[in-house]
Structure 1
Amino acid sequence: MPLKRTPPKTTASTALDVHPLQTHSQSDPDLCATYSTNVITAKATLRPKRKRDRSADHADFEDFKNTIMTVLKDLQTTISEIKEQNVKLQESVDFTAHKYDEILTKMKQIEEDRKVDKTYIRSLEDKIDRLEQQNRACSIEIRNIPKKAGETKQDLTDTLYDICKIIKLPPQDIIVKDIFRVNKKSNTPTVIAELNTVNQKESILKCMKKFNKGNSNNKLNSEQLKIHGPRVPIYISENLSPKTKRLYFLARDYAAQEKYKFCWTSYGKVYLRKEEGSPLKRVNADDDLTELKLQK
């Protein structure tokens, strides 16, 4: 038969040894004792604090100080180099400014000299032009007379005398010192006749103008001179210097643009007139035409 085991009976003394359940407000004496023991043990196991080594700190400070001093020296050297560069740069700027002032002064002087030279050159050109015009003072220019084979100076002289007869000027009043053709870039055949006096030249020009005015429908032409070929007008004018001839060309162009009725030359001078009775304007240079445009 199996044995029946029954728990031993609890005595009063044993029941008194068992502590009842404790509340949260009560402390367990064994836990408190255990905590205190652990704290004491932890304190006992902590490494004691070592005293700071002042000599090592001093060495570190010296190293830091030396590093700072090295950096400052390098910085000072760099600043000194920059200052030196700035000084050189300032000297270069001053030198450049001085040279610029010198060049500016020279340019002003050159400009003044150029104006003086320009005035002087213009005066020389005018003087040369006057001399050339004086040499041409007794000469006339005949245009559109065709050249024939074997032509001689006498043939040209006879042609001039024929023109004098047509324009009602006695040929015996004209003395020809020289007559010749000139080679020009244009296709217009041109003959230069040098007469004995200025009066003879003026007489031919005056009679020519009078003839054309009285024969406006049949002005002097090659047919009247019995020249074979197509009929072409014959022009006679002063033999102008190159400068005056160019000025006369510009004046005619200006007269056409601005509706001037008259543009002519007399004794090597160029004149303009707007209409009958209006004051004449003498053109001495290109600037005179420019001034007339500005006045308009």
Structure 2
Amino acid sequence: MSDGLLAIGAFSRASLLSIKTLRAYHEAGILVPTSVDPQTGYRSYHSSQLTDAAVIRRLRALDLPLDQVREVIQARDPAVTARVLTAHGVAMRERLADVTRIVTDLQAGVERPASHTPVHPRDEPHSLTLAIRGRVAEADFAEFLGDAYAQLGAMATRFGVAQSGPTGALYPPEIADENIEEVEAYLPISRPVALRPVAGSVVMSEVPAAHVAVLVHVGSYEAIGDTYRQLGAWVAEHAEPAALPIREVYVVSYGDTNDVHTFRTEIQWPIHPAHTKETSS
């Protein structure tokens, strides 16, 4: 969609809220879709609603009850945010100032991007990969990926095949379940290898050629949700999402440095080339 709207699946990826959760927030009157198809009931959201989605996600991370989340969203007032969070309990006191500032900035429309480059579309070529797939909870992404890359590197060495680019991971274009995602960790290689029967969980795979919208996230992965929000808003305004996995390419990561502030992650969102609008920015 190029009218600022995202279908619920694409909005789930941009906001990091599952489709199931978005439906529940609609029913609770917390995050109401911009439009609902009267025939199919299919929901669409405007890119501007990614701000409210980010606020809701922060507040729910504090276990704030839904009725209080609704109060903060509807008020759009820093004083209300502070009052609600203060009343939430002493256990939250240490996190109060930081979350209050984040929510206030988001609702004021203040962009604090973790990225240092604008969104830009480009064509990504096909690549062969060694891969490990798994159903992984968000809290376990780092452990899963770290273990996977160790196995993939060892397998590439064993078969004498060269790594042809940085490691990466594929994520579904929609987040169907709030707790578990199908993740594919991959290591690009220069030529195919015959893995069976010794490969175990490692498989030959590929990252298909695609036209993608790219935004570079700089720094720790803790703030990557903000970069997804910015990229999702750009896709809503300028492109039509393609039904292909989202790619994260770890250009600079733990294998290169222990300084998380210098990490560079490319988020590549596949889009339909014919729908991409040229911009002057």
Q: Same fold (TM over 0.5)?
A: no
* Larger strand fraction of residues: 2
Greater radius of gyration (CA): 1
TM norm structure 2:
0.22
- Higher RCO (CA 8 Å, separation ≥ 6 residues): 2
TM-score for both structures, normalised by structure 1 = 0.22
